[in-house]
Copies of this chain bind each other. A is one copy, B any other.
Amino acid sequence: MDQRIRNHAATLVHWSGRVHRGDDVVLRVSEGTHDLAVAVAEEVGGRGANLLSVYGSDEVERAYLRAHDDDFETDPEYELALYENADIVLSLGGGRNTTALADVAADRRQAAARAHEGIREARLDTDWVSTVHPTRSLAQQAGMAYEEYRDFVYDAVLRDWQSLAEEMARLKEILDEGSEVRLVGEGTDITMSIADRVAVNSAASVDYDSHNLPSGEVFTAPADADGTVTFDVPMTVNGRRVRDVSLTFEDGTVVDYGAAQGEAAIEEVLDTDAGARRLGELGVGMNRGIDRVTDNILFDEKMGGTVHLALGRAYAANFPAGHEDERNESAVHVDLIRHMGEGSRLTVDGEVVQRGGTFRWEDGFE
């Protein structure tokens, strides 16, 4: 077995999931993730924790959903009991075909998801962590060779997370103490208020309330955006490609927008509800192991030297206790990403925190 698979498992179990003796661990295994599952089982066993493996096969789910008549039972008791009694859920993504569910009607998938909302909540109430095992199907989605994609994923996952968490803590402190963020660059000059907000240090560990491996971003919930921002990273929004999206805000609300490609997809998002025209998130990517865009939000938004803004719903974690209901509400949360390359800068209360993609505490900052 590739030593990197073992290291990935150790990172997932120890750094991310914080598995300890006696923990009831559910391991969700996708079709292509057997080898990582074996490595994770070894780490969980070594901790003396309990293990139950669930088979999360897209092909099994497809067959089940297509044969069903849509009348799904609400939160079947046995599955609810499993997750309500679990301490930690480790999900290994990575199937053999990312489009394995393509011929299941969307309304049937949604009906099944609605019926299992309580189970989903029980799962999210555990110390859950989602990661991906580099499969050929994910390599294909990223437009990369298999070996190349494995290198890409392990570069992103096998970080010195303690060190990165400490670096991210510096940015969190700046954002927590700051009142206004400004982003400047090509096609971009926008200010946002971050007063009285709490930045989250998303360090790929449940101890940081961070549930994805890899992670590596600091994010907060901006308000009162004014100005224009362009996003040069191509994305897939509701199944459609968008490129060079530009948004103009006045008093926190989008008043103009455009895109070189996929403008209709952006229009659809903006028209969802009132909250969809306001920002729900400002995130700063700080994972230097991610060196390219792969059309997978789990990686793209964490990329060092990028920032992302999300239209729509804000996270409660960005508000002080008792103020969670001040957050922007919406049915959507759509991330859009911008490289902060040459000519770009991110300032907090007038002080430059990042210039040309380099933070002020990094080598090469001018």
Complex interface: stretch among A74-82, A142-150, A358-366: A74-82
Taking CB atoms, residues of chain B closer than 8 Å to A85 are 77-78, 81
Complex interface: stretch among A30-38, A210-218, A242-250: A30-38
Q: Known: A37-B57, A78-B86. Contact between A48 and B31, CB under 8 A?
A: no
Which of B29, B43, B77, B82 has a CB less than 8 Å from the CB of A78? B82
Complex alpha-carbon distance, A37 and B81, angstroms: 23
Q: Known: A24-B77, A60-B37, A67-B46. Contact between A53 and B54, CB under 8 A?
A: yes
Could you tell me if B55 and A29 are in contact, using CB atoms closer than 8 angstroms?
yes
Could you tell me if A38 and B60 are in contact, using CB atoms closer than 8 angstroms?
yes
Give residues 49-79 of A contacting B (CB, 8 Å). Answer: 50-57, 59-61, 63-69, 71, 73, 76-79
Taking CB atoms, residues of chain B closer than 8 Å to A83 are 78
Could you tell me if A34 and B46 are in contact, using CB atoms closer than 8 angstroms?
no
Q: Known: A26-B78, A78-B26, A82-B81. Contact between A60 and B50, CB under 8 A?
A: no
Could you tell me if A53 and B50 are in contact, using CB atoms closer than 8 angstroms?
no
Could you tell me if B69 and A42 are in contact, using CB atoms closer than 8 angstroms?
no
Taking CB atoms, residues of chain B closer than 8 Å to A57 are 29, 34, 37-38, 53
Taking CB atoms, residues of chain B closer than 8 Å to A60 are 27, 29, 34, 37-38, 41, 51, 53
Could you tell me if B77 and A64 are in contact, using CB atoms closer than 8 angstroms?
no
Q: Known: A85-B81, A86-B78. Contact between A41 and B61, CB under 8 A?
A: yes
Complex alpha-carbon distance, A31 and B55, angstroms: 10
Complex alpha-carbon distance, A64 and B82, angstroms: 20
A75 closest partner in B (C-beta):
B50
Complex alpha-carbon distance, A61 and B41, angstroms: 7
A87 closest partner in B (C-beta):
B78
Taking CB atoms, residues of chain B closer than 8 Å to A29 are 55, 57, 60
Taking CB atoms, residues of chain B closer than 8 Å to A26 are 78
A28 closest partner in B (C-beta):
B55
Name the distance in Å between A16's Cβ and chain B's nearest Cβ: 18
A50 closest partner in B (C-beta):
B76
Could you tell me if B42 and A64 are in contact, using CB atoms closer than 8 angstroms?
yes
15 additional A-B pairs beyond A37-B55, A43-B67, A45-B64, beta carbons within 8 Å, are A24-B78, A27-B60, A38-B57, A42-B64, A44-B64, A45-B65, A48-B68, A50-B73, A50-B78, A53-B56, A78-B85, A78-B86, A79-B82, A81-B81, A82-B82
